[in-house]
Amino acid sequence: MERHEFKQFQTLMTSSVLSGSNSPNLVQELAQSEGVPSDQRLNIHHNNFRETLAGSLSGVFPALEAFVGAVFVKGALSEFCVAYPPKDASLLGYGSDFATFLDNHKASEQVPYAADLVRLEWAIHELQLVDEVVATEPSQNEWQLNPNARVIRSEFPLLSLWSVANGQLPPEAVHIEQGGQNVIVLLNDGEVSLLALTDQESHVLDELAAQRSVHEISSTVLSSVSKKKIIVPA
């Protein structure tokens, strides 16, 4: 096989694995093995591709699994891997789009909070893998969201649902109708913790996101969120 032909073959093979379909040109390129058609051999690569990617995310979403079961999570991850193949050679950040995938998945009908639960679990997973950022001294009394924090906003009682999944609350203690919870996932001194944000704390983060001056924020509330390290000097 000439170099340009090999490059074309690689392109066809990559497209086949990522799309899960076998182009006629690729099938023709492959020599037939007795008793094993080319398309069946290609399907082995398709399956290995999905299994490897889904396996890389195994164990990242235990709370989701507690609500929908291991079989469903495995199947959803397999579908996700086909719909959202990796964009980079590294799998370190792969899986960040799983919540977006679930937004329009059939699971949203039966478990409408599934995507938000995944967002929460991904934030925990992400912060467990990053190096903690050391805060600096404030510059002209400017503040920002802690770079070691992730904010998950939800119309569901997200932290309570997560607590149910982890056995910290009985299922009967939580009702979806009780309203939403905004949750902050915070990495501090090597430990990841979860806090439900109050309405005032959420307001502070909205103000900072809108780049409004801290002088427009109550000093009491500002002091509270800074003590919790939700915000840090900019």
Which CATH number characterizes residue 162's domain? 3.90.930
> Are the C-beta atoms of residues 217 and 142 closer than 8 Å to each other?
no
Q: pLDDT per position in the chain (234 positions), as tens? A: 444 455 665 565 566 555 556 666 555 555 554 555 656 665 555 666 777 788 889 899 999 999 999 999 999 998 998 889 888 877 788 999 999 999 999 888 889 999 999 999 999 999 999 999 886 665 556 788 899 999 999 999 999 999 999 999 999 999 999 999 999 999 999 999 999 999 989 988 888 888 766 666 777 888 888 888 998 887
Work out how many domains the chain is built from and give that number: 2
What's the rounded Cα separation, in Å, for the pair 163 and 174?
9
Structural domain harbouring 57: 36-129
Tell me, yes or no, whether 60 and 74 share the same domain.
yes
Identify whether 175 is part of a domain.
Answer: yes
What's the rounded Cα separation, in Å, for the pair 234 and 232?
6
pTM value > 0.85: no
